Structure 1
Amino acid sequence: MTTFGRDEDDVPDLRWSGRVSLTPRILAVNIFALALLAGGFFYLDSYRSRIVDSRVAQSVSEVRLMAEALRSVAPGRRDALMIRLGNDTGARLRLYDDTGTLLADTRALGLRNVVLRDPDKQDWGQGAARFLDAVIDTVVGAPRAPLYRERSDGLSWPDVRAAHGASALPATVWRAPDRTPVITAAAVVPGQGTVLSTSNAREITQTVRVERFRLSVVLLIVSLVSILLSLFLARTIVRPLRRLARAAVRVRLGRAREVVVPRLPSRRDEVGMLARALSDMSLALRARIDATEAFAADVTHEMKNPLASMRSALDGLSLVRDPALQERLLAILRDDVHRMDRLITDISEASRLDAQLSRAKFEPVDIGAMIAGLLLQREQRGVERHVSLVLAPLPADPLVVMGEGARLERVFENLIENAISFSPDGGRVTIAAQRRAERVTIGVEDEGPGVPEDAREQVFNRFQSLRPESEAFGKHSGLGLAIARTIVEGHQGTITAEPRDDRLPGARFVVRLPLVDEQ
């Protein structure tokens, strides 16, 4: 019995993704991964903040040591010491008294080690770098430092004001016109005033820009490689799918004979499996179409004969006046009507058989008991020409198969009726059922003329009928064995025409069906 479970088709898909072609979807997935890599630019902002904090701490430590040094030196040596300290630290030093009056300035003493650059006088490369700095700072939401400007007196500097009342040494980060950080720090010099240190940490900006350039180069290379690989992947997937889709459309439009669905034998992946499945499906569809066309042609041919006979009989009735001859013509019409009715019934069953079997609910069927019941019913109706029906001894264990009982009965009814019709007067028809490995084998033998070796496969074709000479024409439609084969194959079995095992004259039809797994 066929069981139905959850298939892969039952898994819900992402409907929004189904509206986009595969190529942009593959590119989007890889670009998303690159966007995660581009997050390194955000990390650079954190890296810059840590460097600035480190430089601020360094400036605070330096200005504290400078204040201690200036306190211990004599006033006459103060200027020389400030120049030396400015040279060693790279900072501009200014000393203010308690009222904010400038007492000493290393720049006025001739040391010009801190010079802010005018961005209007720099080349386009620096301008582009500043623009990129501004864009990235805006994207990452980095805090914007106040613009650095010179003050007229010491009390205008927030660090100088805060140095007197703060327990910790004050320091401030400013922004130079060229967007480089300027760090100021102040410390009180007991008895002399307050020293202010100013340094332009231009190297911080240069370090961040160098790292950003390196990350950009890496990101650019990875992006190019990723895009090329994505396009290659899309090419290997999308192009064969488009070829298959075009071939399927041509098959749907009815040009199946001109269509060659590519099988892609070199592909061993899912695309190759799909291509071969579609190719096999198109071949099966073409075979089914051919079979349908042949069936329609055969039906037309088979129905023309009784129709022609009926037309002739009707034409004769209008001309014949002899009652005996009229009765003969009426008998011909009755036979042709019965023949047409039998033919239409068999054709209707044969045409619907595949669809009915696909929807049939299979149940356990005891083949031995079924055949014994069929033979008993046939004997009760009477067997013509004194033909005897013999059932060989059945195995002790039941021969159970999964199937539809009514359809299987039709198979063996056809085989028994054929065997009776071909048997001579007083002949014997033998039915034997036995277990062979995992299959049950049912043989139906008669003592008739047998089936020629070259016709043992043709007898299963539709409208193929090798009838005995003694039988009246039109008693059979030629569909019985074709229907039997369709039913047996629908039960995963086989039916063949074979010579008798004892080499005596006669035909032997063998049906093999899979047994039910007892476990």
Structure 2
Amino acid sequence: MSLFDRVSLTARILAVNILPLALLGGGIFYLDSYRAQLLDERYKLARIEAQITAEALAGATRERQEALLIQIGKEQDMRLRMFDSEGLLWADSFELDEPRFTLDDPADDEFGLRFARWLDRMVDTVVSAEPVPDYIEPEATTAEPWPELVRAREQGVSQIVLRDAPDGTPVITAAAPLGLNGATLLTTRNAIDITESVRAARSTLGIGVALTLLASILLSLFLARTIVKPLQTLSRAASRVRLGRERDVEVPRLPERRDEIGLLARSVSDMTEALRQRIDATEHFAADVAHEIKNPLASLRSAVDSLTTVQDAELRGQLLDIASHDVRRIDRLVTEISDASRVDAEISRAVFETFDLAELAENIIVTREDRELNRGHEIILTKPASPSFVRGVPIRMERVVENLLDNAVSFSPPGGVIEVTLSHVDDCIALTVADQGPGIPATEREKVFRRFHSVRPDEEDFGNHSGLGLAIGRTITEAHGGSLEVSDREDGQQGACLTIFLPEAPTGDARR
């Protein structure tokens, strides 16, 4: 069993619905690549601006240089500083005019900005971003605290450096040589728009994912509740049934549910009811078996006990006959009981085949005549011109027909006629066995199908029948999807009429 199989259904539903959203939410971390692209473009812009500004300042007078510093600073929102060949600061746009930007103090920020900085740091940690040095405005007014100025003067090419302001926004400084006398230009830009753009994209994505995730969780819980709760109810009811507690416990049928859960609930309820009926039938059958076997056992014990005290040879012979009769009766009972107890299971495992019921009945009648089982009674078979194909287990249907013929022979008067008729009735094949006996009263017609219920003719020896024949016959017939019924003879004459109804096999399945 895998770990996933041990997880509850609710957790599985949540995982299946949340996992895709979680993967989508992971896109927040990959916005860092978007930020890197923006910074790369800004690097190029800062380098070009520094070079162009340095070229413009190189040939200008001191007054013109200061005017350009003020003008470019205003237009580009930058801070421009010029250092002479000795590395001393001799012009600063922020001192010549109002500063174009100020670095925020994070201690004064509201919660939203503090959370945004925390999220920035978390993303940087997850994506393993390279550390960025903090931007610290040096107190000295020389070029030494600025490594980019030193490299630009030494190498004669512009240099770019990225630093983080106290509020987490990027500060881009660009140093470029100014003329040929060793002077340098330093531009400083607080690229707050990059941070705001990334944070806006991240917030939009985060809010969208969060709202969708919340909706998905609520819908998943609702879905889990509609599935899991009825399943739990069914499970608890099934457990009580399994433990044998609360005999009358009702398995909910959930009639309002028209989905698969409702179908399952009704199937479980029907199955439980069928099991209860089967258990009740088994208990009643066991009680009936005990009762039926107890009588011949008591007679047998009485006969055997008397044999030890009786000296008369004739009386001893009678006792031996009684004991022998009781032994045969018990053997017959055990055989019938064994057959009745396993008929359902055997038919449920059997493979049905198509056969002609009329042909089967004809073979049975011929065999009985050969074995002289009809006791002088005439059996007349009437069958339709067309075949009477049904599906089932032929050997089991033979047993049913044999039981009906045995029953008819037992009740028919000497020399009586037994009529076996096959016909097509709607979509069924009907096999009727009619005798000329006393018939079965309407009040007794269902009782004759009860196990061990037997009302035999007075002239018949006691104990020759177990009372299971018709009960077994109905069980086998119903297992074939048919029925076994009792009615009056259609011709109005005296006698019993028992009819087997079996579904007719489709023409395409008919085979001999």
TM-score normalised according to structure 1 size: 0.87
Matched, 1:503 2:497: no
Partner secondary structure for residue 254 of structure 1: coil
Counterpart residue type for residue 52 of structure 1: L
In structure 2, the partner of 1:352 is 342
In structure 1, the partner of 2:423 is 434
Counterpart residue type for residue 296 of structure 1: A
Residues 393 and 263 of structure 1: is their aligned pair in 2 closer, same or farther, counting only changes over 3 Å? closer
Farther-moved stretch of structure 1 (328-337 vs 246-255): 328-337
Distance (Å, rounded) in 2 between the aligned partners of 1:106 and 1:97: 15
Partner secondary structure for residue 259 of structure 1: coil
* Residue-by-residue CA offset, 1:65-121 (whole Å, 9 max, x unaligned): 434543564443221221121122111112345665544322343543344445467
Counterpart residue type for residue 15 of structure 2: A
Distance (Å, rounded) in 1 between the aligned partners of 2:99 and 2:199: 26
Matched, 1:375 2:362: no
Distance (Å, rounded) in 2 between the aligned partners of 1:188 and 1:34: 51
Distance (Å, rounded) in 2 between the aligned partners of 1:384 and 1:285: 40
Alignment equivalent of 2:96, drawn from 82, 105, 109: 109
> What's the CA shift for 1:394?
4.5
> What's the CA shift for 1:281?
1.3
Matched, 1:176 2:130: no
For 1:219-238, list aligned pairs within 5 A: 219-238=209-228
Matched, 1:299 2:286: no
Contact map agreement 1:159 1:172 (CA 8 A) in 2 = no
Contact map agreement 1:460 1:481 (CA 8 A) in 2 = yes
Alignment equivalent of 1:323, drawn from 313, 317, 326: 313
Distance (Å, rounded) in 2 between the aligned partners of 1:395 and 1:98: 127
Contact map agreement 1:160 1:196 (CA 8 A) in 2 = no
Residues 123 and 233 of structure 1: is their aligned pair in 2 closer, same or farther, counting only changes over 3 Å? closer
Alignment equivalent of 2:445, drawn from 452, 456, 463: 456
In structure 2, the partner of 1:77 is 64
In structure 2, the partner of 1:37 is 24
Farther-moved stretch of structure 1 (351-360 vs 317-326): 317-326
Residues 342 and 117 of structure 1: is their aligned pair in 2 closer, same or farther, counting only changes over 3 Å? same
Farther-moved stretch of structure 1 (438-447 vs 343-352): 438-447
Distance (Å, rounded) in 2 between the aligned partners of 1:440 and 1:216: 72
> What's the CA shift for 1:442?
1.4
In structure 2, the partner of 1:91 is 78
> What's the CA shift for 1:380?
1.5
In structure 2, the partner of 1:261 is 251
Counterpart residue type for residue 261 of structure 1: V
Distance (Å, rounded) in 1 between the aligned partners of 2:315 and 2:380: 44
Counterpart residue type for residue 201 of structure 1: A
Calculate the aligned-residue CA RMSD, in Å: 2.9
> What's the CA shift for 1:317?
3.7
Contact map agreement 1:346 1:477 (CA 8 A) in 2 = yes
Alignment equivalent of 2:279, drawn from 273, 285, 289: 289
Distance (Å, rounded) in 2 between the aligned partners of 1:162 and 1:384: 127
Farther-moved stretch of structure 1 (245-254 vs 94-103): 94-103
For 1:50-65, list aligned pairs within 5 A: 50-65=37-52
> What's the CA shift for 1:219?
4.0
Distance (Å, rounded) in 2 between the aligned partners of 1:230 and 1:446: 69
* Residue-by-residue CA offset, 1:26-85 (whole Å, 9 max, x unaligned): 233333233123224124323333433343344344434434543564443221221121
Residues 308 and 83 of structure 1: is their aligned pair in 2 closer, same or farther, counting only changes over 3 Å? same
> What's the CA shift for 1:501?
1.8
Alignment equivalent of 1:403, drawn from 389, 392, 402: 392
Alignment equivalent of 2:458, drawn from 448, 469, 482: 469
Residues 407 and 317 of structure 1: is their aligned pair in 2 closer, same or farther, counting only changes over 3 Å? same
Distance (Å, rounded) in 2 between the aligned partners of 1:265 and 1:120: 63
In structure 1, the partner of 2:303 is 313
Contact map agreement 1:159 1:184 (CA 8 A) in 2 = no
Contact map agreement 1:395 1:435 (CA 8 A) in 2 = no
In structure 1, the partner of 2:132 is 145
Residues matched between the structures, number? 504
Farther-moved stretch of structure 1 (35-44 vs 460-469): 35-44
Farther-moved stretch of structure 1 (245-254 vs 233-242): 233-242
Distance (Å, rounded) in 2 between the aligned partners of 1:383 and 1:274: 51
Residues 239 and 163 of structure 1: is their aligned pair in 2 closer, same or farther, counting only changes over 3 Å? farther
Alignment equivalent of 1:492, drawn from 481, 491, 494: 481
Farther-moved stretch of structure 1 (362-371 vs 151-160): 151-160
Contact map agreement 1:256 1:286 (CA 8 A) in 2 = no
Alignment equivalent of 2:406, drawn from 417, 435, 439: 417
Residues 402 and 384 of structure 1: is their aligned pair in 2 closer, same or farther, counting only changes over 3 Å? closer
Distance (Å, rounded) in 2 between the aligned partners of 1:113 and 1:142: 30
> What's the CA shift for 1:296?
1.1
> What's the CA shift for 1:370?
2.0
In structure 1, the partner of 2:382 is 392
Counterpart residue type for residue 377 of structure 2: V
Partner secondary structure for residue 302 of structure 1: helix
Counterpart residue type for residue 300 of structure 1: A
| Structure 2 segments unaligned to the other structure (5+ residues) | none
Matched, 1:479 2:504: no
> What's the CA shift for 1:237?
2.2
Contact map agreement 1:160 1:187 (CA 8 A) in 2 = no
Distance (Å, rounded) in 2 between the aligned partners of 1:160 and 1:456: 118
Residues 429 and 125 of structure 1: is their aligned pair in 2 closer, same or farther, counting only changes over 3 Å? closer
Alignment equivalent of 2:53, drawn from 61, 66, 73: 66
Contact map agreement 1:99 1:155 (CA 8 A) in 2 = no
In structure 2, the partner of 1:195 is 185
Partner secondary structure for residue 94 of structure 2: coil
Contact map agreement 1:183 1:198 (CA 8 A) in 2 = yes
Partner secondary structure for residue 442 of structure 1: strand
Partner secondary structure for residue 107 of structure 1: helix
> What's the CA shift for 1:324?
3.0
Distance (Å, rounded) in 2 between the aligned partners of 1:504 and 1:127: 105
* Residue-by-residue CA offset, 1:137-176 (whole Å, 9 max, x unaligned): 1112334334435584279543774599789x65433222
Counterpart residue type for residue 507 of structure 2: E
Farther-moved stretch of structure 1 (343-352 vs 509-518): 509-518
TM-score normalised according to structure 2 size: 0.88
Contact map agreement 1:100 1:155 (CA 8 A) in 2 = no
In structure 2, the partner of 1:205 is 195
Distance (Å, rounded) in 2 between the aligned partners of 1:128 and 1:60: 33
* Residue-by-residue CA offset, 1:225-273 (whole Å, 9 max, x unaligned): 3333333333222222222212111111122613221222222222222
Distance (Å, rounded) in 1 between the aligned partners of 2:37 and 2:278: 76
Farther-moved stretch of structure 1 (353-362 vs 275-284): 353-362
